[in-house]
Every structure is written in C-alpha cells, then in structure tokens.
Structure 1
Amino acid sequence: MLPKAILLDLDDTIISFDYGVDLDVCWKNACMNHFPAWSEAAIDDAVKAIKKQAQWYWSDADRHRTGRLQMNETRRHIVETALTDAGLPVQEEASLLHRIADEYGRSRDAAITLFPGAVETLEYIRALGMKLALITNGSSHGQRSKIDRFQLSPYFDDIFIEEECGIGKPEPGIYHMAMSRLGVHPSETWIIGDNFKWEIEAPQALGIKGVWVNHREMDISSLSVQPYYSIKTLSDIVRLLNASTDRAAEAAPEIST
C-alpha cells in the first residue's frame, strides 16, 4: 500500500556526505598544505591519527549529539587532540591545527554532490501526491546551507532540522513532530535513510515503515530488526512505489458504467 507521507533523510540519502566522498584525500590535502616539510609517511600517520580520534569521538551517542550541532568546533578539537597525542612533530600553536580542520571542512563540503537520480525521485514522489518532509540531524546553518545549495526546499512540505526543532533522530519526539505537522499516522508513513538506527530501528518501533538506503548492500537476513525495504540508492524507491501503485490498481474493484 502506498504511504500518505514520506520522511526523508538528507546526508548520504539525497546527497553524498560520508559515502561517495574520499575523506582520506580531504584530510591528506589539508595536512600537506599546512605541513609542507613533512614526509609522506608523516602525513599518512597524521591522517590515521585524526581518523582514529574521530572514530572514537563519534562512537558515543552523547558526544555525537553534541558534536554534530557544532561541527567546526568539534573537528578542531578532534584534530588538535589527535595530532598532539600521536607523538607527531607538532610544534605549532593550536590555531594552525584548527586551520587544518577548517580546510578539511571546506574541502569536504566542496566534494558533496547530489546522488544520481535524487532530484528526479523527489519529483516523482511529489507527482504521486504524497506529503514529503525532510528530517535531518545537525546544526541549522550546516544543514540549511546544503539544502539551499542544492535548491531542495521546494520539494518538501516541511523541513525538520535538529537544532531548529530542539530534538533529533532517534528520539521519538522528532518523528511524532513530523507526522503531526503533516497530519498522518505512523501506519501511513514511510521513512527513508541510510542510518539503520535513525531510519529503521527507532521509527519502526513507532509503527513507521523504514526503508533502508543500504549503499554497501549488506546482508540484512541476520539483523534483529528487519527494514520494510532495503534499497541501494534513493532512486530505487521509484520501483517500489511503482510496484505498490500497480498492486493497488489490480486490487481495485471494477466500476460499471
């Protein structure tokens, strides 16, 4: 059955953010530009140290919640901590290390692109008459800048950004807020995104149907929670909606004239 509304994630669902962006190159270039005298091996060690510190930082849900709302400051902290603690020949003041983080951020932002077929998929969903809302974690400035850059606002009936709403995924309140403003019930709602906890586990506990954007095509058979559907990229949802439309048409009773 077709949903009345779809809640749609932004990062790594509509646009590339982690998946599809070479983060190692972004970090390596930023380090090379600020440490031109370092050997390639030292640069590689620096990148490894930064990635290790970043992995530790983002692994904790509370740190993740705080850090994503102040991304520039968080990246500066990660770089300063990583390069100071790694035993690398860092003699410079913290401001230089902060500039490495800032340059990485600019390089990463420049590398972000729309996924192929994303806009056409939004247009298709709109053409079916479904309500469509964007629901994304992060700061207002960071997320609005991406929404504006790719001119996404016109496709959505409403936009929910964590900092603006005061609550974010996977808290139940953000899903309830979105459904309330769209005027739909959980059974009438799908959510699509790449984060399994945020777009599958948490919303499906509320009765929303979760469609997982499974970029790496992981085997889902052993997962304790099964997504309503698993797709490789957002544009695959067109096939699923087409199939639902065809089934609905076949089940409709014939009307005599």
Structure 2
Amino acid sequence: MNGFKAMLFDLDNTLLNRDEAVDRLFFKLVKLCFGDVDHTIKNEMRQKFREYDGKYFGQSDKTDVVASFFDEFPPQNGMPKQAIQDFWNQHFPQCFAVHQDTITIIHRIKQQVKVGIITNGSVERQKAKIAYTNLDRCFDMVIISEEVGWSKPDKRIFEMALKRLDVNPEETLFVGDDLEKDIGGCQQANIKGVWFNPSMRKNDTAIQPFAEIHSLESLVSYVT
C-alpha cells in the first residue's frame, strides 16, 4: 500500500468520454432537425457543432451552442430557443456510455480505498449522466458544483470531499483531465493530482501534477 485512503475523480473526459457523447447528440439533432444530409456536409456540420460546444463549454445554459449552429446551418425543422435547453437536458445524458473496463477498475480501487466524484456542471445533467451510466452504484460520494455552490478549481469543493470521506489531503489522490481546474484546484487543497492524459497532450502550464497517466488502469498501482 502507498498510504492512500481515498481516490477522487473528475467526471467528463475522465470517467466518461464527453467528446463521444457530443457526437451522439449531434446525430440526434441532425435526425430531428435536418433529415437526410450528404455525408461530406454532415462531417463539416459535426466539426462545427464540436467547435460551438467547445466555445461554450462550462456554461450551464447550452442554448448558444445550438442557436449558433442553427445560424450557420439553417435547419429544415427549427427548434425554438426556449426548447433548446430542454432538448439538451433530456438527450445529452443519454448519449453517455461508460466502458466496462472503467467500471472494473473503479471496483478494484474501491476494494482498497474510498472513491468519490467531484464534477462541475448542472445538478440535473450531471446526476442524469451518473445514473444513466450506473456510476452512482460505484462511488461512495458525488459532489456537483451547482449543488454546493463552489466549482473546481476552488479548493473548497475539494475540502468538502475530504470532509465527507473523512480523510486527510495527504491520504488522497485526485484524477482529472483538466490541468487548471482539476490538478491546479486539488493542489490548492494539498491533494496530489494525477493528470489523466490519454491523448498525450503537452503540458503548456506551470502546473506540475503528482503523476501523469494515459489509462485509468495505471491507477490500480497506487492502491495495491
């Protein structure tokens, strides 16, 4: 054992592949509002949808994502602006899928230490994602920023997790894909941050994680 008693996780693009979910939501939107679209045009549309999603990432209200997309690609069957958020809230959580390997790894870790999730986002969507993928059955605790009033990288959201799990910072690891929000944030609470970097991006920040991993399976060695 390495002396760790808890491991905390980010949700989007750590436990769940958000990019894949955005693509699935795009195909739902095209089927609903555009009908048949030429393959080449559809690829161009998908790229633009991803760009708008990235531009407004972090905003709870997703109206601007779809409205901007519709401005560039006028749909055959439009959607009123007031309906866009309902569409996103209803369909986006159902676009997520969790890999069985991830579930297996979490259960192996949970046999040794306490496990929890800290995620930024709206309560409605994040709870729906976690429930839809059955991750709620895997973790001892889930903290959602909108529910508690603090968002990563605010150290208070990490300190709340420590208190709920009754562990000390030096006994805890936090795993996330975002260097500034996840790793920089947990370090402010004196928690060691493990940077999940499967695409092997270059670290262009001054933040130095405790460790960098390219697969979640690597985490098992920290608790066994």
Instruction: Please state whether the residue corresponding to 2:18 is helix, strand or coil.
Output: coil
Contact between 1:30 and 1:100, CA under 8 Å: does it hold in 2?
no
Query: Are 2:212 and 1:230 aligned?
Result: yes
Counterpart Cα distance in 2 of 1:188 and 1:156 = 17
User: Once the 2 structures are TM-superposed, how far is the Cα of residue 167 of structure 1 from its aligned partner?
Assistant: 1.6
Q: Answer whether contact 2:22 2:50 (CA < 8 A) is retained.
A: no
Label 1:202 to 1:31 Cα distance change in 2 as closer, same or farther (>3 A).
Answer: same
Match of 1:11 in 2: 12
Do the aligned residues in 1 keep the contact of 2:153 with 2:181 (CA within 8 Å)? yes
Alignment deviations for residues 135-194 of structure 1 (CA, whole Å, 9 cap, x no partner): 111122212222222333343332211122122211111011111222222222110122
Q: Is the 8 A contact 1:140 1:161 kept in 2?
A: yes
Distance in 2, Cα, partners of 1:184 & 1:103: 36
Q: Is the 8 A contact 1:34 1:100 kept in 2?
A: no
Gaps of at least 5 residues in structure 1 are 59-63, 243-257
Question: What pairs with 1:170-189 in structure 2 (closer than 5 Å)?
Answer: 170-189=153-172
**Aligned 1:23-172 pairs, distance under 5 A:** 23-24=22-23, 26-28=25-27, 30-36=29-35, 43-58=42-57, 64=58, 67-68=59-60, 70=61, 74=62, 76-84=63-71, 86=72, 88-89=73-74, 94-95=79-80, 102=87, 106=91, 109-128=93-112, 130-172=113-155
Give 1:95's aligned amino acid.
Answer: P
How big is the shift at 1:235?
Answer: 2.0
- C-alpha RMSD of matched pairs (Å): 3.2
Distance 1:28 1:146 in 2: 18
Contact 2:24–2:95 (CA under 8 A) maintained in structure 1: no
Q: How many residue pairs align between the two structures?
A: 223
Q: Identity across aligned pairs (percent)?
A: 26
For structure 2, which runs of at least 5 residues remain unmatched after alignment? Answer: none
Q: Distance in 2 between matches of 1:2 and 1:104?
A: 40
How far the C-alpha of 1:16 sits from its partner, in A, is 2.2
Residues 191, 209 of structure 1: 8 Å contact kept: yes
How does the TM-score come out when normalised to structure 2?
0.81
TM-score by structure 1 length? Answer: 0.72
Which is greater in Rg? 1
Query: Is the Cα–Cα contact under 8 Å of residues 28 and 43 in structure 1 kept in the other structure?
Result: no
Q: CA deviation at 1:218?
A: 2.7
1:40–1:95 distance in 2 versus 1, CA, 3 Å: farther
